[in-house]
Amino acid sequence: MHKSIRFLSIISLFMLAFFLLNVTKKNEANESKIVTLLDSIKKNVSKSYEIKALKLPSHMELAGERVPLEKADIRERMDRELLVNTYWQSNGLLLIKRANKFFPIIEPLLAENGLPDDFKYLALAESGLMNVKSHAGAAGFWQFMRTTAREYGLEVNKNVDERYNIEKATKMAAKYLKNSKEKFGSWTLAAAGYNAGNARINKRLKEQKATDYYDLLLNIETSRYVFRILALKEVISNPEKYGFIFDADDLYEPIATYNIEITKPIANIADFAKENKVTYKELKLVNPWLRETKLNNVSGKKYIIKIPVNQRK
């Protein structure tokens, strides 16, 4: 905080000095003093704000698979993503805060469904742990396309979109990635296939007569993808090492909820929320898969709706 204030003060002094320099050009004595002041400010800036090169860890791995950091191009690609995810400080801190809120939900689901814990960083890389929708139409924390989600049993329509259901989407991601691992024999290639599509990765492996992700020449997005996951893992696992300083109460907390089973339509979700002593917004925030103001449910399907524990006094 104090460093930020100091930096802003230095910027203000720069502006003042340049102003004075312009209005006193005819006064050589004042001009000399102002130039001296500017030189002093420059020195202060260099001392108070430093961009340091990062030292790569000696060993890194994804889901137990070693990263060949002894290779020059691998080191450069890893260095790039580590720098980007360290010095984009505001985004990094937001990811750390959101991870504290949602990793406790994702982690046990990955374990229960046989997926290595490291894949929680894949979800972080995909969406920043926000229920966003891409230009291509991928949605939710795990960024599934509509067709793929339906193939794996999720309900996707204008009324209900289970790509936004964190529990169901995480289980689907585990199944998808395990299928990819079985196909490629590698968790790292499974991660690459998640980004580029398994068919494309398989084609590149055959074309280039390769068996390993780190030996493939790929498009820029997929060539950076695994390294971004690794960078997020490294920074979020060691935040202080990379300059992220915070207290426990700075982090976002999971929202306490309890579940209600529904097998009938809900004509008006606002009324349903009021009956359960929460607001419409509170209910929809923890059930983003409810896409409209009602739940049709003409088939009598069983849905689990989360009800936030009311924190209001």
Identify the bridge partners of residue 161 per DSSP, sorted by sequence position.
156
Element (H, E) at 308: strand 303-308
Tell me: pLDDT of 4 over 80: no
Q: Structural domain tally of the chain?
A: 3
Lowest mean pLDDT among 33-42, 200-209, 292-301: 33-42
Output the pLDDT for position 113: 97
Counting Cβ atoms within 10 Å, is residue 210 exposed (0-12), middle (13-18) or buried (19+)? middle
Judge whether 54 lies within some domain: no
The whole-angstrom distance between residue 264's C-alpha and the CA centroid of its chain comes to 36
Output the pLDDT for position 47: 59
Residues 7 and 119 in one domain: no
The model carries a pTM of: 0.84
Give the whole-angstrom CA distance, residue 171 versus residue 132. Answer: 18
Residues 228 and 270 in one domain: no
What DSSP designation does 65 have?
A: E
Judge whether 85 lies within some domain: yes
Distances (CA, A) of 249 to 3, 148, 160: 21, 38, 34
CB 189 within 8 A of CB 63: no
Judge whether 275 lies within some domain: yes
Residues 44 and 78 in one domain: no
Residues 148 and 287 in one domain: no
How many other C-beta atoms lie within 10 A of the C-beta of residue 312?
A: 7
Residues 102 and 197 in one domain: yes
Judge whether 313 lies within some domain: no
Residues 210 and 97 in one domain: yes
What is the four-CA torsion angle of 146, 149, 154, 158, rounded to 10 degrees?
Answer: -10
Structure confidence by residue, pLDDT tens digits, 132-175: 999 999 999 999 999 999 999 999 999 999 999 999 999 999 99
Residues 264 and 143 in one domain: no
Tell me: pLDDT of 40 over 90: no
Structure confidence by residue, pLDDT tens digits, 95-142: 999 999 999 999 999 999 999 999 999 999 999 999 999 999 999 999
Q: Is 259 helix (H, G, I), strand (E, B) or coil?
A: strand
Output the pLDDT for position 228: 98
How many other C-beta atoms lie within 10 A of the C-beta of residue 141?
A: 27
Distances (CA, A) of 292 to 138, 146, 213: 19, 17, 42
Residues 159 and 213 in one domain: yes
Structure confidence by residue, pLDDT tens digits, 70-84: 999 999 999 999 999
| Structural domain span for residue 273 | 257-308
